């Protein structure tokens, strides 16, 4: 195992996002690798189970909540590793396993994630931009986007909603750049700008960059995630409240 995956930095980072690393899978009532969600029948069966498990009223809500949770479990920590620690965590879908501990013990009915294997990369001294492009493309176009498309089809929910769910987990990773200094502050600014403004759709496995319309300038003309969503994540259908950024209220 790469030393970074046993470092205090990764232990703290992965712990913040309920992402475990290693071969041993915590005891669970249900688990499956993300690769299984590429199969529409398996994906639909899992979401039907998830719908009842989390108290979702329909498949569309279950699909939206699943992608939002996956973005928290996988996208946020992997992008944090890229930007804050200059480490790319390359994963295969078969090594990313969703698992559900007993909800009463875990404190939530939503899944957690375990990585059984990962490849760690770091940029060459003068070639960080090419390395960053590879990390982003591998995470999205080669891994997450195909799963999202299957979930969207199985759950009859739009990709626009799912991508805004992903953005809801990306934006906070880059929302504290002004608190940092020097090189790290620059990386936070540059990586967020790259993903939301420079990238074409290709690194995301999409025709257009799905994040480009999901940003705005704050009062100091700094780029950030939108203060109000363009789409509704449908959470209000399973809870007596709206998200803080919901466009509906």
Query: Hey, what long-range contacts does 121-125 have (CB within 8 A, 24 or more apart)?
Result: 121/87, 121/88, 121/90, 122/86, 122/87, 122/88, 123/86
User: What average pLDDT does the structure give for the chain?
Assistant: 94
Percent of the chain scoring above 90 in pLDDT: 84
Model confidence at 178: pLDDT above 70: no
Instruction: Find the range with the poorest average confidence among 45-49, 90-94, 119-123, 177-181.
Output: 177-181
Indicate if the pLDDT at residue 145 is higher than 90.
Answer: yes
CATH 1.10.510 at 3-237, yes or no: yes
Q: Which of 196, 202, 227, 246 is nearest to 68 (CA)?
A: 246
Complete DSSP assignment for 140-203:
IIIIIHHHHHHHHHHHT--HHHHHHHHHHHHGGGGTTGGGS-HHHHHHHHHHHHIIIII--SGG
The H or E element that residue 114 is part of is strand 112-115
pLDDT score at 138: 98
What is the average pLDDT across 171-182? Answer: 83
> What's the pLDDT score for residue 102?
86
Q: Looking at the predicted structure, is the pLDDT value of residue 142 above 80?
A: yes
Q: Which residue has the tokens 């396993």?
A: 97
The model scores a pTM over 0.85: yes
Express each pLDDT in 14-68 by its tens digit. Answer: 999 999 988 667 788 999 999 999 999 999 999 999 999 999 999 999 999 999 9
- Distance CA(90)–CA(81), nearest Å, equals 11
What percent of the chain clears pLDDT 70, i.e. is strictly above it?
Answer: 98
- The model's confidence at residue 221, banded by pLDDT at 50, 70 and 90, is confident
Q: What is the pLDDT of residue 177?
A: 67
- Mean pLDDT, rounded, for 98-110: 88
Confidence of residue 75 (pLDDT cuts 50, 70, 90): very high
pLDDT at 125: 79
Task: Please report the pLDDT score of residue 24 as a whole number.
Answer: 62
What's the pLDDT score for residue 1? 77
Q: What's the pLDDT score for residue 192?
A: 97
* Residue 134: its H or E element: helix 128-139
Closest CA to 5 of 78, 55, 60: 78
Summarize the confidence of residues 141-148 as an average pLDDT: 98
């Amino acid at each position: 195992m790469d030393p970074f995956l046993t470092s205090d930095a990764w232990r703290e980072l992965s712990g913040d996002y309920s992402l475990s690393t290693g071969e041993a899978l915590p005891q669970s009532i249900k688990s499956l690798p993300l690769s299984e969600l590429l199969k529409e029948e398996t994906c639909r069966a899992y979401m039907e189970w998830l719908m009842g498990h989390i108290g979702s009223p329909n498949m569309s809500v279950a699909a939206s909540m699943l992608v939002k949770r996956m973005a928290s479990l996988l996208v946020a920590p992997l992008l944090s590793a890229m930007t804050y620690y200059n480490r790319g965590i390359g994963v295969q879908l078969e090594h990313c396993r969703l698992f559900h501990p007993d909800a009463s013990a875990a404190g939530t009915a939503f899944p957690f994630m375990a990585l059984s294997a990962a490849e760690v990369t770091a940029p060459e001294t003068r070639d960080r931009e090419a390395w960053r492009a590879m990390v982003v493309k591998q995470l999205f176009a080669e891994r997450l986007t195909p799963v999202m498309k299957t979930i969207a089809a199985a759950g009859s929910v739009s990709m626009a909603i799912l991508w805004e769910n992903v953005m809801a987990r990306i934006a906070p990773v880059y929302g504290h750049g002004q608190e940092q200094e020097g090189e790290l502050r620059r990386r936070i600014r540059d990586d967020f700008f790259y993903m939301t403004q420079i990238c074409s759709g290709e690194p995301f496995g999409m025709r257009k960059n799905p994040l480009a319309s999901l940003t705005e300038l704050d009062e100091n003309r700094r780029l950030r995630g939108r203060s109000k969503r363009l789409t509704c994540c449908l959470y209000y259908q399973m809870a007596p409240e709206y998200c803080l950024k919901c466009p509906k209220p």
